[in-house]
């Protein structure tokens, strides 16, 4: 594997970890059952509106080891994908209610993150250390961090042209 492919894999793992820890929405688009469903020990009647709390799935220790730690390596060499087939990781929803912006959104996030990391070195403002950051969520229609991230870019020193 080339160095570029390894870095791309790492970038993808970081993006997936961010979507697992800090999803853009808490609840996915509501679904309605077509038939009577038996889920675990519960009977869900026909035509019941079902809300999926994706934020809670991302923090469930039955689903993720050490769920609130930032561990992108959990996605390295792992086939868990965001396209709705792996129900422990569905940041864009699943089934016919999958977010229609998924293909464009995924490409744009990867392109922007890779570009920002390639062209700039980053430091937190005010001498703050990464482990001191307040990572609590602020709930609303979309999820945001309670305290906004303030990072200072500087031109990357070791930028090499191929």
- Ligand-binding annotation for 78, yes or no, is no
> Does any domain span residue 162?
no
> Does any domain span residue 160?
no
What is the Cα–Cα distance from 102 to 107, expressed in whole angstroms?
9
Q: What are the strands, taking DSSP E only, across 14-149?
A: 31-32, 37-39, 42-44, 49-50, 120-124, 137-138, 144-145
pLDDT at 153: 94
**Domain holding 112: CATH number?**
1.10.630.10
> Does any domain span residue 161?
no
* Tally of helices (H runs) and strands (E runs) in the chain: 3, 8
Phi/psi region, residue 80 (left: phi>0; alpha: psi -120 to 50; beta: rest), is beta
pLDDT at 47 > cutoff 60: yes
> Does any domain span residue 124?
yes
Average pLDDT, the chain: 86
Which residues 6+ apart lie within 8 Å of 62 measured at CB?
none
Q: With residue 123 as reference, give the H or E element that holds it.
A: strand 120-124
Q: Are 21 and 58 in contact (CB under 8 A)?
A: yes
Model pLDDT for residues 62-89, shown as the tens digit of each residue: 999 999 899 999 999 888 888 888 888 8
> Does any domain span residue 45?
yes
pLDDT at 61 > cutoff 90: yes
Structural domains in the chain (count): 1
Percent of the chain whose predicted confidence (pLDDT) is above 90: 33
Highest mean pLDDT of the ranges 92-101, 134-143, 144-153: 144-153
Q: Are 102 and 29 in contact (CB under 8 A)?
A: no
pLDDT band at 45 (very low <50, low <70, confident <90, very high): very high
- What is 110-128 written as a DSSP string? HHHHHHHHHHEEEEEGGG-
Q: Classify residue 160 as exposed, middle or buried by CB count within 10 Å of its CB (0-12, 13-18, 19+).
A: exposed
Mean pLDDT confidence for 97-110: 89
> Does any domain span residue 86?
yes
What is the Cα–Cα distance from 119 to 111, expressed in whole angstroms?
12
Q: Is pLDDT larger for residue 4 or for residue 93?
A: 93
pLDDT at 9 > cutoff 70: yes
- What is 9-24 written as a DSSP string? HHHHHHHHHHHHHS-S
What is the Cα–Cα distance from 50 to 47, expressed in whole angstroms?
9
Q: Domain limits at 121?
A: 3-155
Q: Is pLDDT larger for residue 104 or for residue 39?
A: 104
């Amino acid at each position: 594997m080339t160095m570029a492919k390894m870095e791309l894999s790492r970038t993808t793992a970081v993006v997936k970890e961010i979507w697992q820890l800090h999803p853009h929405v808490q609840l996915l688009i509501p679904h309605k059952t077509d038939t009577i469903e038996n889920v675990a020990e519960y009977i869900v009647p026909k035509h019941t509106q079902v809300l999926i709390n994706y934020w809670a799935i991302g923090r469930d220790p039955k689903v993720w080891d050490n769920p609130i730690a930032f561990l992108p390596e959990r996605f390295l060499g792992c086939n868990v994908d965001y396209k709705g087939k792996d129900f422990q990781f569905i940041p864009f929803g699943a089934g016919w209610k999958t977010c229609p912006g998924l293909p464009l959104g995924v490409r744009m996030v990867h392109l922007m993150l890779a570009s920002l990391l390639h062209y700039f070195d980053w430091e937190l403002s005010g001498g703050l250390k990464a482990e001191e950051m307040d990572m609590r969520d602020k709930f609303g229609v979309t999820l945001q961090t309670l305290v906004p991230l303030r990072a200072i870019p500087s031109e990357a020193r070791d930028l090499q042209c191929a």
